[in-house]
Amino acid sequence: MKRLLVLGIVVVIVLGALPVFGAYPERPITIICPWAAGGGTDRITRALALELSEILGVPVGVTNVTGGAGVVGHTAGAQAAPDGYTLTMVTLDICLLHWQGLTDLTYEAFEPIALVNADYSAITVRADSPWKTYEDLHAYIKEHPGKLLASGSGAGTIWDLARAGWLLTAGFGVNDVGWVPTTGAAPSLQELIAGGVDIVTCSLAEAIPVIESGEAKCLAFMGPERHPSYPDVPTLRELGIPWEAGTWRGLGAPKGTLPEIIKVLEAAVAKAVQSQRFVDFMQKNGFGIRFLTAQDFGKFMADEDKKWGEVLRQAGFAKP
């Protein structure tokens, strides 16, 4: 009898230590946005949170945790309790920061839930530039290496790496088109229109205003397929250069979050990105919708990490 009592106590202790999945969610959920309020990541996160609130039946709020080029917010999200109530809008930067020596944190600190967005780079030039097609520009760079200047953001950020990867994949040297760092796409496009640079490699979504105003034109798109709003602009792949580059955003949970919780969230996100309100928001603001399941998002991040690590190394931005 005494042995049975002891065994029962042990069973209770062991079972009490195991995670128990009950009704989820039962209380408000917070999504950490590693970037400032008003930016693209923040706006997409809030639009998604609005849909998830209705689908999950609990409030879903957004908290901006900024600093360290995204390190602070991603770290806070990764270190949160793995209970499904603190999520993170994980961005491409999780596959760049550790290569640059800014953090030890990698995408493996998160349980992937779903990819929701991807905005790809484009090769944009002034409307009055002498290059009518990408082939014209390619030939010019080949004949005049180092003469042209490009911009799009700061040194070593995604649009600089889009340039570096394009040049390397096309058979050029990484400095055959120089880089002028700025604080972002908007000032880079202003430099383009003013004649300070010759090329901008920011996302096509960010370049749309100056293209629509007739001040600039897009020669090539760095996405997997042509942009729906610019079906006449070829992709680099179509031009024989197998290179894609863009920023992306997806929902992640701290490592160790129960698979049952991930499944609930994955299904909710799948429904959210198909809602008419979310689709209208993304289209109106020029953001691209790209949905990947939890499993595919995890593989996608692994591939992105490997790809960008190599580009950073060849471009001289990776820490030894």
Amino acid at position 209, single letter: P
188, 152 in Cβ contact below 8 A?
yes
| Largest separation between any pair of C-alpha atoms in the chain | 93
Q: Going along 163-288, which residue ranges are E strands?
A: 177-179, 199-200, 216-221, 246-254
Q: Give the pLDDT confidence of 50-87 residue by residue, as tens digits.
A: 999 999 999 999 999 999 889 999 999 999 999 999 99
Residue 59: count other Cβ atoms within 10 Å of its Cβ: 13
Neighbours of 213 (CB within 10 A): 10
What class does CATH assign to 122-221?
alpha beta
Please, where in the chain does CATH 3.40.190.150 lie? Answer: 30-118+246-315
Where in the chain is CATH 3.40.190.10?
A: 122-221
The region that residue 70 occupies, defined by phi over 0 for left and psi between -120 and 50 for alpha, beta otherwise, is left
Residues of the chain with pLDDT under 70: 1-22
Four-way CATH pick for 30-118+246-315: 3.40.190.150, 2.60.40.10, 3.30.230.10, 3.40.640.10: 3.40.190.150
